Amino acid sequence: MRIAALYDIHGNVPALDAVLADVDAEVILVGGDFVAGPWPAETYERLRSLEGDVRFIRGNADREVVDEEPGRAPPELMEFVRERLPEEAFGFLRTLPLTVSVGRALFCHATPRNDEEIFTRISPDERWEEALAGVDAEVVVCGHTHIQFDRRIGDIRLVNAGSVGMPYEREPGAYWALVDGTDVELRRTEYVPGDLSVWPGEWPEASPDEATEFFERLSRGE
């Protein structure tokens, strides 16, 4: 069964539309952090109106949209997203699970135990082993740090699907992964960007090395 893993769309509907046109899969797996960005309502409606087997997991930003407490994201950006989402989206976001398993593949946003902790392609094996302890899967697909990678931790193939809407990669485009059993293909789809000036915040851009270094410092509490 082919599963298109679409992670960290971040409300970037032109990127999502291009990927949806490019996808040939039986399952669409939305890997969290899909509404927080420039076009929240359009992104939400596009994904919710898809026909076929569509599964969602929760990202930290999806949780912060519905949380009463201020989270990691700037409050004015979360407010921009909340004002635009349809009412029913709030209930839907609250129902999302932390992980979804399909066969021997397990999908999570950051790690299987947590939707926001920071792990990268260069995080030490020992840290990853601790985060993956007790996981019964051959493939673990994560996202959250917006950079694709494919590595092995013990018996587990660990893949970051990358980010559809806000990637930190060398080439422009929308990044995602096609998972078929335990096969994984990291994919990139080109698209014409929308006008990001509608977004009231900065739109971050970084090379994969810069972003990885930044996230590693963050994960060490520096």
Q: State the residues that interact with Mn ion by CB under 5 A.
A: 33, 59-60, 144
Q: Rounded CA gap, 145 and 163, in Å?
A: 8
Least spacing, CB of residue 208 vs Mn ion, in Å = 16
Short-list 183, 142, 163, 166, CA closest to 3: 183
Least spacing, CB of residue 60 vs Mn ion, in Å = 5
Nearer to Mn ion, 60 or 189 (CB): 60
Least spacing, CB of residue 36 vs Mn ion, in Å = 9
Nearer to Mn ion, 154 or 204 (CB): 204
Q: Rounded CA gap, 60 and 116, in Å?
A: 6
Residue sitting closest to Mn ion (CB):
144
Q: In the 8-state DSSP scheme, what is residue 94?
A: H
Label residues 51-69 b or e (16+ Cβ within 10 Å = b): eeeeebbbbbbbbbbbeee
Please enumerate in sequence order all residues whose Cβ is within 8 A of that of 145, keeping only pairs 6 or more positions apart, or say none.
110, 118, 119, 120, 160, 168, 211, 212, 215
Nearer to Mn ion, 26 or 210 (CB): 210
Nearer to Mn ion, 149 or 181 (CB): 149
Least spacing, CB of residue 183 vs Mn ion, in Å = 25
Least spacing, CB of residue 32 vs Mn ion, in Å = 6
Q: Rounded CA gap, 160 and 141, in Å?
A: 6
Nearer to Mn ion, 45 or 116 (CB): 116
